[in-house]
Chains A and B, each alone.
Chain A
Amino acid sequence: MEYIPLYLIFIPIISSMIIYLFNLRIINYLIFITQATISVLMIKYFLFINKNPQFASITIGGWDKRIGIELKNDVYSIAFIFLTIFIWTIVSIYCFDKRKNDAKFLFFLLFLEGAFLALLQTNDLFNLFVLIEIISIISTILIIFKKDGFAVRAGLYYLLFNSIGSIFYLLGMIIIYNIFGTLNIDVIKHHIHLIDNDLIIHAAFILMMSAIGVKSALFPVFTWLPKAHGAAPSSISALLSGLIVKSGLYVMIKVDHLFNLYTFKEYFFILGFFSAIIGILFALSQKDIKQILAYHTISQIGIILMGLSTINQITFYGGLYHIINHALFKSLLFLGAGMIIRTYNIRRVTEIRGVFKTMPLTSIFIIVGMLSITGAPFFNGFISKSLIVHGLKEQTFIYFLFFIINIGTATSFIKFSQIFFGKSKLKGQATINEKIALFILSIACITLGLHFNYFNQYLFHVESPVVILDLYNIMTYFITIIIGFILYQTIIKKDYLVFKKIRHMHITFETTNYLLVLYIFTMILWSFKAL
Chain B
Amino acid sequence: MIKKISLLIILFIMLILFIQMQFDLKGYLNYFSHEYFLSHTYKDTASSNIVTGIYLDYRLFDSIFEASILLIVVSGIVYMTTKEGEENERVFIFEKVKISNLLTILSRVLYPFMLMFGVYIIIHGHLSPGGGFQGGAILATAVLITYYIDPDKITKFSLIIFLEKLLFISILIISSLSLLTKNVLFTNFIPNQTSNTYRSIFLILLNLLIGIKVSLGLVSIFSSFLKEGRS
Contacts and interface: CB of A to CB of B under 8 A. Distances in A.
B76 to A, nearest CB: 4
B68 A197 contact: no
Nearest to A64: B36
A133 B36 CA distance: 28
Given A17-B168, A127-B61, A517-B10, A199 B20 contact: yes
Q: Could you say which of B13, B18, B79, B168 has the most chain A C-beta atoms within 10 Å of its C-beta?
A: B79
A46 B15 CA distance: 47
B125 to A, nearest CB: 18
A327 B29 CA distance: 42
Contacts of B21: 175, 199-200, 203
B14 A521 contact: yes
22 contacts: A3-B179, A3-B185, A6-B185, A13-B68, A60-B186, A62-B182, A62-B184, A63-B187, A66-B32, A67-B36, A67-B58, A68-B59, A104-B75, A107-B75, A108-B75, A115-B68, A118-B65, A137-B73, A179-B25, A179-B29, A199-B24, A524-B17
A185 to B, nearest CB: 15
A104 B184 contact: no
Contact of B79 (A14, A141, A200, A521): A141
A62 B27 CA distance: 32
Nearest to A70: B61
B185 A137 contact: no
B150 interface: no
Q: Could you say which of B18, B76, B182 has the most chain A C-beta atoms within 10 Å of its C-beta?
A: B76
A126 interface: yes
B172 interface: yes
A465 interface: no
Given A133-B69, A179-B25, A179-B30, A60 B17 contact: no
Interface in B31-51: 31-34, 36-37, 44
A20 interface: yes
Contact of B72 (A64, A67, A111, A130): A111
Contacts of A133: 69
Given A62-B184, A127-B61, A137-B72, 8 more contacts: A60-B184, A60-B185, A131-B65, A178-B29, A179-B25, A517-B7, A517-B14, A521-B13
B149 interface: no
A322 to B, nearest CB: 30
Given A6-B185, A13-B68, A63 B20 contact: no
Interface in A120-157: 126-127, 130-131, 133-134, 137-138, 140-141, 144, 147, 152
- Of all A-B residue pairs in the complex, the 8 with the closest CB atoms, nearest first, are A181-B32, A181-B30, A61-B187, A62-B184, A141-B76, A181-B33, A69-B61, A60-B61
Contact of A21 (B73, B166, B182, B184): B166
Contacts of A115: 65, 68
B186 A137 contact: no
Interface in B111-154: none
A67 B57 CA distance: 11
B169 A17 contact: yes
B192 to A, nearest CB: 11
A69 B65 contact: no
Contacts of A141: 72, 75-76, 79-80
A61 B32 contact: no
A126 B62 contact: yes
B59 A69 contact: yes
B17 A203 contact: yes
Contact of B14 (A10, A127, A138, A520): A520
B28 A137 contact: no
B72 A197 contact: no
Contacts of B20: 199
Given A138-B72, A203-B18, A182 B32 contact: yes
A127 B60 CA distance: 11
B3 interface: yes
Given A178-B25, A517-B11, A521-B13, A14 B169 contact: yes
B199 interface: no
Contact of B162 (A21, A107, A178, A199): A21
A505 interface: no
A180 interface: yes
A296 B93 CA distance: 46
Contact of A134 (B14, B69, B79): B69
Contacts of B62: 69, 126-127, 130
Contacts of A177: 33
Q: Could you say which of B17, B20, B61, B66 has the most chain A C-beta atoms within 10 Å of its C-beta?
A: B61
B72 A175 contact: no
A443 interface: no
A271 to B, nearest CB: 18
A66 B187 CA distance: 16
B165 interface: yes
A514 B29 contact: no
Given A61-B60, A147-B80, A517-B11, A134 B185 contact: no
B69 to A, nearest CB: 6
B165 A21 contact: yes
Contacts of B182: 62
Nearest to B60: A61
Interface string B197-218: 0000000000000000000000
Contacts of B185: 3, 6, 60-61
A195 B33 contact: no
A87 B161 CA distance: 30
A180 B33 CA distance: 9
A482 interface: no
Contacts of A60: 60-61, 184-187
B75 A134 contact: no
A179 B179 CA distance: 34
Contacts of B33: 66-67, 177, 181-182
Contacts of A17: 165, 168-169
B28 A200 contact: yes
B66 A130 contact: yes
Interface in A152-185: 152, 175, 177-182
Contacts of A67: 33, 36-37, 58
A469 interface: no
A13 B7 CA distance: 43
Interface string A53-87: 00000001111101111000000000000000000
Contacts of B24: 197, 199-200
B172 to A, nearest CB: 7
A107 B58 CA distance: 29
Contacts of A68: 58-59
A502 interface: no
